[in-house]
Amino acid sequence: MEPPKRPRGRPKSLFKESSAGTMQSLDRALGVLTAVGEVERAALSDLSRATGVPTATTHRILSTLQKHGFVAFDDERQEWMIGIEAYRTGASFLRRSSVLEVGRPILRRLMRQSGETANLAVPDGAEVVFIGQVETQNPIRAFFPPGARTPMYASGTGKAILSALDETAVTTLMTRLDPVAFTEHTRLPGDDLLEDLAKTRARGWSHDREERYYGMSCIGAAIFDNKAEPCAGVSVSGPTVRFGPDRAPELAALVTQAASEITELSGGQLPP
């Protein structure tokens, strides 16, 4: 009697996988978690609509995430929001980011020297995500909560990062977005933006003049990794009346110095 043949290959998964080799249920769960994080708090129906996941399925996903602390539910407002475990997971990324680690004291100094809010952001696709900030004590000031994101074309740090890329890379990145004119000063992807990026590249710093919010301006510079490629950006932001042509060069010198220091201390190198 012949011994039974041993099965070959991997055992079949208990979970359904998509054709791309990813787990569909996990894809959906992470999509819902991302949606909650982007809007900070939302009703079940809004999350279902935003993700394209059926309401009943969305509720099951949220209940599972709630069980593990990744989301929380506000009974009074009937809204879902990010939970403490999601914060802890995100915090572990921030702890391993050498750019943020070495940048904290430099941000504090930049805020003191400029008198404006100092920001640190990293690229994520065609957007930038703010991972660090030191607020000024001025009563009228800029504020971006950690994790806030904005399109690169409408951000001082974003435009600084874009200016370090070639035109083909910029055009490719911008095709991932559905451009929105946040104000009448927003430079939408196209010739106007490319011209502004060329000026930014030539002088070494960007200037967002009410391109995201009315009454607020920003000056930024890129931070580079060990391959001399842009990996982050530092900026100062505040009321436009404090960012006029007479003061912009002074602020720009402080920002570019901060960007160079963070680049060097995090092991990066400036492009030739």
Do 132 and 212 fall within a single domain?
A: yes
Same domain, 206 and 178: yes
Does residue 108 lie in a domain region?
Answer: yes
Q: Which residues contact 124 (CB under 8 A, 6 or more apart)?
A: 149
Statement to judge: residues 223 and 246 lie in one domain: yes
Last residue of a domain, one of 87, 112, 142: 87
pLDDT score recorded for residue 90? 75
Residue 1 has pLDDT above 70, yes or no: no
Residues 192 and 236 in one domain: yes
Q: 204 and 231 share a domain? A: yes
pLDDT value for 93 = 65
On whether residue 12 sits in a domain, the answer given is no
Please tell me the least confidently modeled range out of 8-12, 52-56, 180-184, 218-222: 8-12
DSSP characters over 30-56? HHHHHHHHHHSEE-HHHHHHHHT--HH
**Angle between the 84-96 and 98-114 helix axes, to the nearest 10 degrees?**
90
Q: Per-residue pLDDT for 94 more than 70?
A: no
Q: Which of 32, 62, 87 is the last residue of a domain?
A: 87
* Residues 216 and 259: beta-carbon distance below 8 Å: no
Percent of all residues in the chain with a pLDDT value above 90, rounded to a whole number: 71
Q: Tell me whether residue 9 is in a domain.
A: no
Asked whether residue 50 falls in the same domain as residue 113, the answer is no
Q: Calculate what percentage of the chain has a pLDDT beyond 70.
A: 89
SS3 209: strand
Bridge partners of 223?
232
Question: 110: domain range?
Answer: 97-265
Last residue within a domain, chosen from 59, 87, 115:
87
On whether both 200 and 107 belong to a single domain, the answer is yes
Is residue 173 assigned to a domain? yes
In a domain, 172, yes or no: yes
How does pLDDT run across 102-146, given as a tens digit for each residue?
899 999 999 999 999 999 999 999 999 999 999 988 777 777 777
Tokens of 76: 């009074």
Residue 164 in this model has a pLDDT that exceeds 70: yes
Instruction: Examine the domain organization and report whether 64 and 165 are in the same domain.
Output: no
* pLDDT tens column, 26-49: 999 999 998 998 887 899 999 999
Across 16-33, average pLDDT: 74
Please check whether residues 146 and 113 belong to one and the same domain.
yes
- Whether 137 and 254 share a structural domain: yes
Report the CATH number that the domain containing residue 188 is assigned in CATH. 3.30.450.40
Residue 255: the pLDDT is 98
**CATH number of residue 76's parent domain:** 1.10.10.10
Residue 12 makes CB contacts below 8 A (sequence gap 6+) with: none
The answer to the question of residue 62 being in a domain is yes
Q: Do residues 156 and 208 make contact, with C-beta atoms less than 8 angstroms apart?
A: yes
Q: Does residue 13 form part of some domain?
A: no
Q: What is the pLDDT of residue 95?
A: 57
Does residue 36 form part of some domain?
yes
142 shares a domain with 201: yes
**Total number of domains in the chain:** 2
In this structure, the answer to whether residues 175 and 250 fall within a common structural domain is yes
